[in-house]
Amino acid sequence: MPILFKLSSLLTMPFWALMILFPHWRWTARILKSPYVIAPAALLYAALVLPLLGTILPAVTNPSLPGIAALLSSPAGATIAWVHFLAFDLFVGRWIYLDSRERAANPYLMAPILFLTIMLGPLGLLLYLAVRAARSIRTPSAMNRPLVFTGCIMLLTLAATLVAMLVDHRFITGVPAWIKPAKFALSITIYCFTISWLLTFLPNRPRLKALIANVTCVSLIVEMAVIAIQAARGTTSHFNVSTPIDALLWGAMGSFIILAFIAALLLAILLIRQSLPNRAFALSLRMGVVISLVGMALAFLMTKPTPRQIDSMQQGQAAQNIGAHTVGTTDGGPGLPFLGWSTVGGDLRIPHFVGLHALQVLPFLGWLLTRRKGLGEPRSVRLVWITGCAYLGFVLILLCQALQGQPLMHPGAGILIAAISLAAAAAIAVGVVLLSGPRQTSSATNNRIAMTAI
Give the pLDDT confidence of 302-324 residue by residue, as tens digits: 998 888 888 888 888 888 888 99
Give how far Cα 38 sits from Cα of 289, 302, 394, 435, Å: 43, 49, 45, 49
For residues 270 and 295, give the distance between their C-alpha atoms in angstroms, rounded to a whole number. 19
d(CA 428, CA 415): 20
What is this structure's pTM? Answer: 0.67
Q: Which is nearest to 219 in space by CA: 171, 184, 180, 182?
A: 184
DSSP labels, 328-374:
SS-TTSSB-TTT--BSSSEETHHHHHHHHTHHHHHHHHHHHHHH-TT
Distances (CA, A) of 279 to 201, 282, 370: 13, 5, 10
Long-range contacts of 24-33 (CB under 8 A, 24+ apart): 24/107, 29/98, 29/101, 32/94, 32/97, 32/98, 33/98
* Boundary residue ending a domain (225, 259, 275): 275
pLDDT at 77: 84
Residues 328 and 243 in one domain: no
Choose the final residue of a domain: 275, 310, 336: 275
389, 436 in Cβ contact below 8 A? no
- pLDDT tens-place string over residues 220-264: 988 998 999 999 999 999 999 989 999 999 999 999 999 999 999
Residue spans of the chain under pLDDT 70: 133-142, 437-454
219 belongs to a structural domain: yes
Confirm whether 443 is domain-assigned. Answer: no
Same domain, 325 and 425: yes
Angle at 169 between CA 167 and CA 170, to 5 degrees: 135
* 386 close to 320: Cβ distance less than 8 angstroms: no
Specify the amino acid at residue 93: G
Say how many residues make up the chain.
Answer: 454
* Domain encompassing residue 34: 1-105
Of 186, 193, 190, the closest CA to residue 224 belongs to 186
CA distances (Å), origin 50, targets 46, 70, 176, 285, 315: 6, 18, 38, 53, 69
432 and 285 both lie in a single domain: yes
If we measure between CA atoms, which residue out of 257, 256, 260 comes closest to residue 213? 260
Q: Does any domain span residue 403?
A: yes
Bridge partners, 175 (sequence order):
172
Integer Cα distance of 389 and 380 in angstroms: 14
- 284 and 202 co-located in one domain: no
The whole-angstrom separation of Cα 414 and Cα 430 is 24
Q: Are 330 and 174 contacting, i.e. CB atoms less than 8 angstroms apart?
A: no
Q: Residue 30: enclosing H or E segment and its boundaries?
A: helix 26-32
Say yes or no: 421 and 308 in one domain.
Answer: yes
Report which DSSP code applies to 26: H
Cα(353)–Cα(284) distance, rounded to whole angstroms? Answer: 18
Residue 189: half-sphere exposure toward Cβ, Cα within 13 Å: 22
Query: Do 333 and 198 share a domain, yes or no?
Result: no
Q: Final residue of a domain: which of 275, 305, 332?
A: 275
- Please give the single-letter amino acid code of residue 64: S
Same domain flag for 44 and 150: no
Whether residue 147 is contained in a domain is answered as yes
- Examine the domain organization and report whether 299 and 229 are in the same domain: no
Whether residue 18 contacts residue 32, with contact meaning beta carbons closer than 8 Å, is answered with yes
Calculated CA dihedral for residues 419, 425, 428, 429, nearest 10 degrees: -130
Rounded distance between C-alpha atoms, residue 401 and residue 354, angstroms: 13
Does 132 reside within a domain? no
- Classify residue 118: in a domain, yes or no: no
Do 250 and 240 contact (CB within 8 A), yes or no?
Answer: yes
Q: Are residues 175 and 86 in the same domain?
A: no
In a domain, 121, yes or no: no
Q: Does the residue 124 lie in any domain?
A: no
Residues 57, 143, single domain; the answer is no
Same domain, 10 and 51: yes
Same domain? 261 vs 380:
no
Number of structural domains the chain divides into: 3
